[in-house]
Amino acid sequence: IQGEIKGYGTQIYKKKKKKRKEIGPRVVDYAQCHGGKGLKIVFFHNDILEITELIRFGLKCLFVHLHLGGLGQLGVGLANFLRKRFGKDSVILSDIRKPPDHIFHNGPFIYSDILDSKNLRETVVNNRINWLFHYSALLSAVGEADVSLAKAVNITGLHNVVDVATEHGLRLFVPSTIGAFGPTSPRNPAPDLCVQRPRTIYGVSKVHAELMGEYYYHRYGLDFRCLRYPGIISADSQPGGGTTDYAVQIFHHAVKSGRFECNLKPSTRLPMMYIEDCLRATLEVMEAPTKSLSMRTYNINAMSFTPEELAQEIHKHIPEFQITYNVDSVRQAIADSWPMNFDDSNARKDWGWKHDFDLPNLVTTMLNFPGFHTRVARAN
Ligand SMILES: NC(=O)C1=CN([C@@H]2O[C@H](COP(=O)(O)OP(=O)(O)OC[C@H]3O[C@@H](n4cnc5c(N)ncnc54)[C@H](O)[C@@H]3O)[C@@H](O)[C@H]2O)C=CC1
Ligand SMILES: CC(=O)[C@H](N)C(=O)O
């Protein structure tokens, strides 16, 4: 993984049989880094060191990540993924809801409301945050049901996050979505750059997030990075009220009862991705060297399928599985305005993005997920 540490660059000395291996050029400052025995970091200003050297020494840097809106469908998975890389105490999970015991005891958790800009600043300063992952949002369908709350969280909340990240020189990740496109966008595939006139408050707020992040990058140097996620599918977390939720719920129902009532038409094609690919892409773009990024907002793609195609794939594992359809007109109208497929060639070219999961191995992975069956039982 190529990466960079800007501003306070680092130079690693590795004591090896009393012999010091000097990697970087100049020495200005000195700090002990937790995680690596006998490893010392010395700092020098405004130089860049490829993060490969840090990874090679298995060094856990003095990164502290704050993860906002972390108790949703994707947030706990991201926190676990980052903690494996940077150490449990380097990743602070936050939300406005109480965490369940197994999450509360799995690493630092704090309350953080993105609508309270003072609380946000205190959190960033008191914990010396370097990287910020901003997951707080109301998704497409729940946003249409409460436009004023969606405006507050997805727009005012975003403004607070962008301001605090700029003030404190954070590296900021904000996810966008297939929902950031609308009926006048090219749909099959949708490229990175095209007309974006979404018809949901969710999509409008996400286009705004993309534009605000890029403005702050060009105007103030905010290290803003953004990926447009497809519908994300996970086995151990429930979806948060979007239009692609059917593609998560279908697995729980297939295992539990062998039957599923789908709220989208059988032929509704949407881009989708397994959560492992999503979380890996998120870290890869955050660790990509600045010089490799020709853009600040990228599409990422893995697969696209219809409910009918998904059901046929599940059928190969559960022959008695039956799908019926009871179309939700709100979600159907949203889905019909979204891309059917994504062109993610820029992500693949600039920072080496590639997906691991296609439809067959998504279904195999989901239905064989450790404890999935008991999770379904517990969830019910
Ligand atoms: N799940 C998916 O398929 C996709 C998700 N995304 C984006 O990824 C991010 C995470 O998505 P999910 O985990 O699915 O969302 P989710 O809806 O499951 O979770 C969002 C979290 O934000 C929190 N939140 C709400 N108001 C808040 C506030 N004022 N301050 C702090 N936190 C607040 C909620 O408590 C919730 O835990 C969102 O920004 C979403 O737009 C983008 C595309 C696809
Ligand atoms: C694709 C998304 O952004 C989300 N899952 C939704 O359906 O709203």
pLDDT tens string 187-205: 999 999 999 999 999 999 9
Cβ neighbours, 10 Å, residue 26: 11
pLDDT given for residue 52 in this prediction: 39
Q: Does the structure show a pLDDT above 50 at 22?
A: no
- Whole-structure pTM value: 0.86
Nearest CA to ligand 2 atom 1: 231
User: Mean pLDDT throughout 252-275?
Assistant: 97
The reply to whether ligand 1 has any atom less than 6 angstroms from the CB of 274 is no
Contacts of 52-60 spanning 24+ positions with Cβ under 8 A = 52/1, 52/2, 52/3, 53/12, 53/23, 54/3, 54/5, 54/10, 54/12, 55/1, 57/12, 57/14, 59/12, 59/33, 59/35, 60/33, 60/34, 60/35, 60/36, 60/86, 60/87, 60/90
- Residue-wise pLDDT for 23-79, tens only, equals 443 332 333 333 334 334 433 333 334 333 444 444 444 568 899 999 999 999 999
pLDDT band, very low/low/confident/very high, at 101 (cuts 50, 70, 90): very high
Percentage of residues in the chain with pLDDT exceeding 70? 81
Cβ of 103 below 6 Å from ligand 1? no
Residue nearest to atom 23 of ligand 1 (CA): 69
How far is the centre of ligand 1, averaged over its atoms, from the C-alpha of 135 (Å)? 5
Residue nearest to atom 42 of ligand 1 (CA): 177
Burial degree of 22 (CB within 10 A; 0-12, 13-18, 19+): exposed
Ligand 2 neighbours, Cβ below 6 Å, are 139-140, 177-179, 202, 231, 242-244
Ligand 2 centre from 39 Cα, in Å?
43
Which residues are identified as catalytic? 202
Give mean pLDDT, residues 290-315: 97
Does the interface predicted TM-score (ipTM) exceed 0.90? yes
Whether the per-residue pLDDT at 373 is higher than 90: the answer is no
Check pLDDT > 70 for residue 342.
yes
Q: Residue 371: pLDDT band by 50, 70, 90 thresholds? A: confident
**143 alpha carbon, closest ligand:** 2
**Percent of residues, the chain, with pLDDT higher than 90:** 79
Which residues lie across from 304 on neighbouring strands? 271
Interval between CA 97 and ligand 1 midpoint (Å):
12
- Whole-number pLDDT of residue 379: 54
The ligand 2 atom at the shortest distance from the C-alpha of residue 232 is 5
Average pLDDT, the chain: 86
**203 touches ligand 1 (CB under 6 Å):** no
Mutate to test the pocket of ligand 2, among 154, 199, 244, 338 (most ligand atoms within 8 A of CB): 244
- Mutation probe of ligand 1 site: the residue of 68, 71, 73 with most atoms within 8 A of C-beta: 73
Quote the ligand 1 centre to 52 CA distance (angstroms). 31
Q: Which atom of ligand 2 is nearest to the CA of 240?
A: 5
Is 180 exposed, middle or buried (CB count within 10 Å of its CB: 0-12, 13-18, 19+)?
buried
271 alpha carbon, closest ligand: 2
Is 97 touching ligand 1 by the criterion CB < 6 Å? yes
CA of 275 to the centre of ligand 2 (A): 13
Does residue 376 surpass a pLDDT of 80?
no
Residues 303-314: what's their mean pLDDT? 98
For residue 266, the CA-to-ligand 1 centroid distance in Å is 27
pLDDT for 140-170, tens place per residue? 999 999 999 999 999 999 999 999 999 999 9
3-state secondary structure the chain: CCCCCCCEEEEEEEEECCEEEECCCCCCEEEECCCCCCEEEEEEECCCCCHHHHHHCCCCCCCCEEEECCCCCCHHHHHHHHHHHHCHHHEEEEECCCCCHHHHCCCCEEECCCCCHHHHHHHHHHCCCCEEEECCCCCHHHHHHCHHHHHHHHHHHHHHHHHHHHHCCCEEEEEEEHHHCCCCCCCCCECCCCCCCCCCHHHHHHHHHHHHHHHHHHHHCCEEEEEEECEEECCCCCCCCCCCCHHHHHHHHHHHCCEEEECCCCCCCEEEEEHHHHHHHHHHHHHCCHHHCCCCEEECCCEEECHHHHHHHHHCCCCCCEEEECCCHHHHHHHHHCCCCECCHHHHHHHCCCCCCCHHHHHHHHHCCCCHHHHHHHHC
pLDDT at 7: 33
